Structure 1
């Protein structure tokens, strides 16, 4: 066997059909490779165009502690420069306003329960005259609280704040509410209800009637809220309930998202929020959220503006760090939907909101004064070398709250001893705190830059011309 001659491998003939198979296979492989290469080139080109477009857009970073009015500023901006989108979201805000009202009711009922349950005698009796009435009202309002809880689980699943409407960034909660409301309307109009029950006395289709489909109720509190209107009004107007709230130091009227005084309008089947209602609506965002606006009024039509709203509570502030880490640009922002973190867009302007609420403490830390916390944040931003070229614009927000506080006789020097015996009036108080912010701005800024500040109330439509001038510049 070893002596037999061997045929060199290059002389072994290959069947002819293999040649055809290889050519077809190689041809298909080449076509597939070309297609993939073209798709990659197109994706790269599209990414470059998107990046170039993003770089040409106006980039604004909105900073401030929790409840400083950042969300109201964003809504004001949208109303001023992107009114078409603002109008599309009006019914979405109706749901949020209704949930704000439900959260207020929930807080009141919890406070009353703690107050009156503490009066239970050793033999199990509660002598308080409102105990039985509270149980009745709480029972009658339980369907409304249930609907509110269901709605919150849909738009803010996993959030654990029992007294605020909370959403997570990137959850697209507005589109989710709009989709659910549209579905509810479709189910109503195409319901299997008896036709005679679906028409008014003239035989016309009643489009305002709500069906009993559970999808309608899980996101839209309107029918239950309307049915509960009298019980809510009775609870809120009861002087004994007001006394309990006052004794507990709870000022419902000063809380964000307070609408109990507007119950007559809101608990109506045909309620549509006003612009002012939308400005006052409270949604707490748990994290960093980007808002994109396509300008369709004022400024340059068709241009884009991005406003980045970062969480203001102390627990959220570690998430600010990525915005201050890059040494090449004054400030950088990486959208959550980008996967290539090597490219970012520079933020040109920082809007810093400092509410002049000198008599209040942080919700998450009652030992820290709100205004002192704002001063601390302002110092850190002013001294940051990375932000040396960024334009800083300071808004003394909630001047309406400051005016009410001073008119109520609250003395500034009680909370800010250094204020001394200066006049307890809006003008001198504002000037005093303005001088403090100005001093830190001048002393701590790495390079000279103008000190720009404005007194505002985020609930009122403000600074449209002012904002337009800054954006054009």
Structure 2
């Protein structure tokens, strides 16, 4: 008996499969679908297809970015607040991406002007505090010139007052130019002239406050305000607290600043007020002579010495450059930008495409906020960095701003030990920067002895060579003892505000990091 075979058709099988597939049944159009409903359904399908393609493209782009980041060099900048992390970052930009660095020159002009006013504000507060102290007494008024008739009534042998050359005899009135102390520094008192100069400069503080509120809107809104930063016990208790220019991580402040600059340019075209940035520049220029006279005055310098205040050692110091920074035509130099102080809160990622050396290679540098409260949270996110640049100023005589009970150098050593012993960071090369060597030299030259703050230093010579060797050996010992596996120890003495010397160091650091990175990815 012959069997009749029905031919098998693939399309027929697929059709039956689709008939049995619940999803296909759901997706099938209803049998009574109208033309309008069909058009809407097809439009929705096209939109869904477009979104799906976008998601696929995003996944592909993310995969490419991940592969690119795997090949990139990643560096972590670490150190306590005011150790010089942001300044080191700017030195990297200047040395290896100079075109990008100089494109931001105009943005930094406003920050430098704000730095100048902050230093001036500190100076004015010291002058006010000095004049309000119980020991201050105003100097006697100048002698009043006497007429010939009055002279005849003086007792025999009495001294005869003479008129002041500035306004004697009713002649030419005194000009507005400031004439401050000419007495020896130890004897020169603050006078009413200083008080009047201070009053003339106070409007600058209002302009600075308004500018800061526009640059950092969270201050004006009162929402999650940036913390005040006091100078702590790194300066004498007689020095009033001062707020720093602080920004949250990211470049939002540059966007706001660009908007304010655009407003100023628009105002110029209409002949109106040129905006807050031009107002700041114009006001500084108008107060330039008063600022220079006050800063160079011998009586003011005597007060600073008596209170052991060294404004020149504080970040963002531009009082020695008033004539240049307060001019209408001021344009920041590379050194000015590197010296500018802008405190960063939080973790900030900076991506570089090298313009020099290994041109085209990508580097990521992470600037971690130096506050002690931030430290426990960031380590797990940086286990893939190739190098850690650790900045440790040898500030053996200063205390932390956020905790006046903790010595700065002790805190640096504590953080260094934590980094050396962390297993998540065992693959990273540790590069130690003994930063702010210029301040260390000035501290030792002033006669401050290391032994007073570090008893274990004992009777060793109190000079830079021996002090640096002592602390280098201490940091090297912790590095060798605590590292989970052997790794080389690198230590450099730096003053990162010295751009030329730092550039030489960074070139060597970059080559070493790049060589280690290429070895890690089996390129060499």
TM norm structure 1: 0.82
Residue of structure 2 in register with 1:58 after alignment: 73
Q: Deviations over 1:113-146 (max 9, x none)?
A: 223223399xxxx746746434422332233212
Q: Give the CA RMSD over aligned residues.
A: 2.3
Partner Cα distance (2:32, 2:406) in 1: 84
Task: State the secondary structure of the residue aligned to 1:27.
Answer: helix
Q: Which runs of 5+ in 2 are unaligned?
A: 1-29, 140-188, 220-225, 229-241, 516-524
Report if the CA contact (8 A) 2:391-2:432 is conserved. Answer: yes
Task: State the secondary structure of the residue aligned to 2:270.
Answer: coil
Mark the CA change 1:102 to 1:356 in structure 2 (over 3 Å): closer, same or farther.
Answer: same
TM norm structure 2: 0.74
Mark the CA change 1:149 to 1:17 in structure 2 (over 3 Å): closer, same or farther.
Answer: same
Residue of structure 1 in register with 2:62 after alignment: 47
- Correspondence 1:177 to 2:280: no
Q: Deviations over 1:329-348 (max 9, x none)?
A: xx34xxxxxxxxxxxxx222
Partner Cα distance (1:220, 1:363) in 2: 33
Match of residue 244, structure 1, among 278, 299, 303:
303
Match of residue 306, structure 1, among 364, 379, 391:
364
The alignment covers a number of residue pairs equal to: 413
- Correspondence 1:365 to 2:387: no
Partner Cα distance (2:291, 2:282) in 1: 14
- Correspondence 1:297 to 2:356: yes
Match of residue 110, structure 1, among 121, 125, 135:
125
Residue of structure 2 in register with 1:87 after alignment: 102
How far apart are 1:19 and its partner, in Å? 4.2
Residue of structure 2 in register with 1:232 after alignment: 291
The structure with more radius of gyration? 2
Partner Cα distance (2:483, 2:89) in 1: 27
How far apart are 1:94 and its partner, in Å? 1.5
Report if the CA contact (8 A) 1:120-1:127 is conserved. Answer: no
Report if the CA contact (8 A) 1:392-1:452 is conserved. Answer: yes
Report if the CA contact (8 A) 1:155-1:167 is conserved. Answer: no
How far apart are 1:239 and its partner, in Å? 2.2
Residue of structure 2 in register with 1:10 after alignment: none
Report if the CA contact (8 A) 1:180-1:219 is conserved. Answer: no
- Correspondence 1:143 to 2:203: yes
Matches within 5 A, 1:380-391: 380-391=418-429
Partner Cα distance (1:469, 1:352) in 2: 17
Q: Deviations over 1:128-175 (max 9, x none)?
A: 674643442233223321221112112233234343111111252123
Residue of structure 1 in register with 2:270 after alignment: 191
Residue of structure 2 in register with 1:441 after alignment: 479
Residue of structure 1 in register with 2:450 after alignment: 412
- Correspondence 1:321 to 2:383: no
Q: Deviations over 1:323-378 (max 9, x none)?
A: 3236xxxx34xxxxxxxxxxxxx222111001112222212222222111111110
Report if the CA contact (8 A) 1:92-1:178 is conserved. Answer: yes
Report if the CA contact (8 A) 2:117-2:205 is conserved. Answer: yes
Report if the CA contact (8 A) 1:359-1:369 is conserved. Answer: yes
Match of residue 212, structure 1, among 269, 273, 292:
273
Report if the CA contact (8 A) 1:147-1:219 is conserved. Answer: no
Q: Which runs of 5+ in 1 are unaligned?
A: 1-14, 193-210, 333-345
Of stretches 352-361 and 46-55 in structure 1, the one that deviates more from structure 2 is 46-55
Partner Cα distance (1:219, 1:86) in 2: 23
How far apart are 1:221 and its partner, in Å? 1.8
Partner Cα distance (1:450, 1:142) in 2: 54
- Correspondence 1:392 to 2:407: no
Partner Cα distance (1:357, 1:367) in 2: 14
Partner Cα distance (2:207, 2:386) in 1: 43
Matches within 5 A, 1:91-102: 91-102=106-117
Of stretches 23-32 and 92-101 in structure 1, the one that deviates more from structure 2 is 23-32
- Correspondence 1:374 to 2:420: no
Matches within 5 A, 1:236-275: 236-275=295-334
Report if the CA contact (8 A) 2:267-2:273 is conserved. Answer: no
Of stretches 377-386 and 38-47 in structure 1, the one that deviates more from structure 2 is 38-47
Match of residue 165, structure 1, among 220, 245, 250:
245
How far apart are 1:62 and its partner, in Å? 0.4
Report if the CA contact (8 A) 1:150-1:219 is conserved. Answer: no
